[in-house]
Amino acid sequence: MLDRNLLTGLLAALAASFIGSAWQLVSRHGVTTTLGPIDLALLRYGIPALLLMPLWFGRKRIAPKASLPVLAVLVVGGGLPFGLLVLAGAQWAPASHMGIFMAGSLPLFTAIGAWLHKRQRIEGIRLAGLACIAIGMALFAADSFRGGTSSTGWRGDLLFLAAAMLWAAHSLAFAHCGLTPWQGAAFVNGWSTLLLSMLVLPFAGVPKLLAAPWPDVALQATTQGVVAGLLGLVVYMVAVVRLGAPRASLSAALVPVLTTLGAAAWMNEPVTGAALAALSLVVPGIVLASGAARWSPKRGTHAAG
């Protein structure tokens, strides 16, 4: 039988994959219809910041013991900078690109980060998995640069890759910050909302949010603020705590497939041959790179590698 910690981590990782895919699809829909990246960012971070306010001012308020650099990486990697990169990229590139480039590259950047931070060796089946991911994304990128998508699609692809690097750093930082998943979500969303209100809104404002149809605002508020901003962040942090950052990135395995199929069904995005070829390499690559193929419940589930 599976250890309870292991089972909880796996279920959290599975939930994170569905939430991540839903967030990608709704974000692409939002920035290509009635709202912009700043509007969505306000909903994405402002709503959960309000909901988690008791963790800032209540009896069990957050008292982070990690160093300032770790806390800064936690916010930058999982908060406003990460979100703005994704939402801006969604304006230029299709949702399927978001799934493949961002979710697909997450285990690659997480493994690199773990090697830089703790000199964790990457060899054998994990190295083969990372190679599959790199080859799949390279093939997909080559098709994009040849004009397989719009002339600006490559800009979104680069932003998605940058976002994946930030999220990998966020995962590794959370594993060493000493916060619970709920405290981590409150910390990231609270500081992201503060940064948004001080550095972005005074110059950009939220004109589209005030003029957009209420069904669109309600959809984005629910998906961005509650589902992704609150539940998505918490379940991923639970996966990191129970599985370790590299194995938690296994949650990315389903995201490219779910996002590609969801975009085809909802937004009529074509499923190209290049996308199928990339998926055939990236998805198994994620599974192999996570170390799941040699995973034993008897091994410590809190191990980072």
What SS3 state is found at 42? helix
pLDDT tens across the length of the chain (305 residues)? 557 888 898 899 899 999 999 999 999 999 999 999 999 999 999 999 999 998 887 666 777 778 999 999 999 999 999 999 999 999 999 998 999 999 888 888 888 888 887 777 777 888 888 899 999 999 888 877 776 555 667 889 999 999 999 999 998 898 888 888 999 999 999 999 999 999 888 877 777 888 899 999 999 999 999 999 999 989 999 998 888 877 787 778 889 999 999 999 999 998 888 899 999 999 998 888 766 555 554 443 333 33
- H-assigned helices in the chain: 4-31, 37-51, 54-57, 68-78, 80-92, 95-97, 104-118, 124-143, 153-174, 181-195, 201-204, 207-211, 214-220, 233-243, 245-248, 255-267, 273-289
CB 246 within 8 A of CB 107: yes
CB 273 within 8 A of CB 118: no
Length of the chain (residues): 305
Nearest partner of 188 among 24, 62, 3, 36, judged by Cα: 62
pTM for this prediction: 0.87
Nearby residues of 301 by Cβ (< 8 Å), 6 or more positions away: 3, 5, 6, 9, 242, 243, 244
